[in-house]
Amino acid sequence: MTKTNKKNIIAIAGPTASGKTALAVEIAKIFDTEIISADSRQIYKEFDIATAKPSKEEMKGIKHHLMDVVEPVEEFTVADFADEASKVIQSLFEHDKIPVVAGGTGLYFRILLENYDMPRVAPDKALREQLHKIEKEKGAQALYQMLCEADPVLAKNMHPNNTVKIIRALEVCKTLGTPMSQAQKKKEPQYNVIWLGLGHLNGEDRQFLYNRTDKRVDVMLEQGLEQEAKNLFEKYGKIRSLEKTIGYQEFIDYFENSITFDECVEKIKQNTRRYAKRQLTWFRQNKDIYWLDIKDKEQMIQEAVQRIKDLL
């Protein structure tokens, strides 16, 4: 990476359970700065255990931004994230701090740090209801097929079951009258980003990560995931944010007697592993990421700090 006159940002990306939060906190302590969460689930208030939202103890006094900022029933788009995160970044720059952006939502990183021009399209309630009806009657595959026809380039890089993103993409395509992939234009990056990645794994190393995701689910259950899911379900019903959050969606099926408790737990673990795999696939596209070995935490921190110092 060539040094430039652009201001620096540290980006820590990777799959769930790879240790992003712990690394971000240590780096923020060492460089006396603050963290911007790039997690599309942790933005929601009350979504705590299922999203692995860090506790006050885990934050170690480091300020975290864009966490607990949206009610579960509220709409929060990628463009909203970029706007709010940009404000925090500018504020930190004004205080001579290097922002640390950490999380696992690839699209957040792309829009904020890779400087893609995201089309700003207001939600179309009527269209969404129509698309949700199609999903309910014909399944997610029907929506995915619609996206393949409307925007094959975007569909190629999107999971067929990610109906939230598929519906949003169809909404943008219809409103603009053009494929969303064509509307997204990459501009010159605003910042000098020091990219760090956790968990670029193969073979035995990948199994190491999957073992960690399974263990994390077990810990979540011990912390009260079932009760948290029940409280949210009773308070809000089957809202989209709940149905599309791993850990809640499976318990909703359990509460409705569609599956047993053991099946629910296994589905959470399976869906978490699949999500981690999709995250890795996304971040591997970024050739600027410097990948760290997650098996030795202390060595990982030392290597990350040295990498940052070398590039500042």
Predicted pLDDT at 246: 98
21 assigned binding-site residue: yes
203 assigned binding-site residue: no
Q: Measuring CA to CA, which residue among 298, 300, 289, 251 is closest to residue 106?
A: 289
Q: Which residue has the tokens 């067929």?
A: 160
Predicted pLDDT at 169: 86
Give me the phi and psi of 9, to 5 degrees please.
-135, 140
140 assigned binding-site residue: no
16 assigned binding-site residue: yes
Q: Measuring CA to CA, which residue among 98, 95, 42 is closest to residue 311?
A: 98
Q: Measuring CA to CA, which residue among 307, 310, 305, 311 is closest to residue 32?
A: 305
Residue type, 306: Q
Instruction: Domains for the chain: give ranges and CATH numbers.
Output: 8-118+184-311 (3.40.50.300), 125-183 (1.10.20.140)
11 assigned binding-site residue: no
Predicted pLDDT at 185: 62
Reading the chain (312 residues) residue by residue, the pLDDT tens digits are: 555 689 999 999 999 999 999 999 999 999 999 999 999 999 999 999 999 999 999 999 999 999 999 999 998 988 899 999 999 999 999 999 999 999 999 999 999 998 776 667 777 888 988 998 999 899 989 999 999 999 888 888 787 888 888 998 898 888 878 887 776 666 678 899 999 999 866 666 788 899 999 999 999 999 999 999 999 999 999 999 999 999 999 999 999 999 999 999 999 999 999 999 999 989 998 999 999 989 899 999 999 999 999 999
221 neighbors 61 (Cβ within 8 angstroms): no
Strand 185-186 and strand 116-117: the pairing is antiparallel
Sign of CA dihedral 121, 124, 125, 129: negative
19 assigned binding-site residue: yes
241 assigned binding-site residue: no
Q: How far is CA 303 from CA 14, 189, 298, 300, in A?
A: 16, 25, 9, 5
Q: How far is CA 157 from the centre of its chain?
A: 16
Q: How far is CA 101 from CA 50, 158, 279, in A?
A: 21, 23, 16
Contacts (Cβ under 8 Å, ≥6 apart) of 191? 6, 7, 8, 9, 89, 113
Give me the phi and psi of 186, to 5 degrees please.
-85, 125
173 token code pair: 């395509």
14 assigned binding-site residue: yes
Q: How far is CA 23 from the centre of its chain?
A: 16
Predicted pLDDT at 292: 94
The three-state (H, E, C) secondary structure of the chain, written as one string: CCCCCCCEEEEEECCCCCCHHHHHHHHHHHCCCCEEEECCCCCECCCCCCCCCCCHHHHCCCCEECCCCECCCCCCCHHHHHHHHHHHHHHHHHCCCCCEEEECCHHHHHHHHCCEECCCCCCCHHHHHHHHHHHHHHCHHHHHHHHHHHCHHHHHCCCCCCHHHHHHHHHHHHHHCCCHHHHCEECCCCCEEEEEEECCCCCHHHHHHHHHHHHHHHHHHHHCHHHHHHHHHHHHCCCHHHHCCCCCHHHHHHHCCCCCHHHHHHHHHHHHHHHHHHHHHHHCCCCCCEEECCCCHHHHHHHHHHHHHHHC
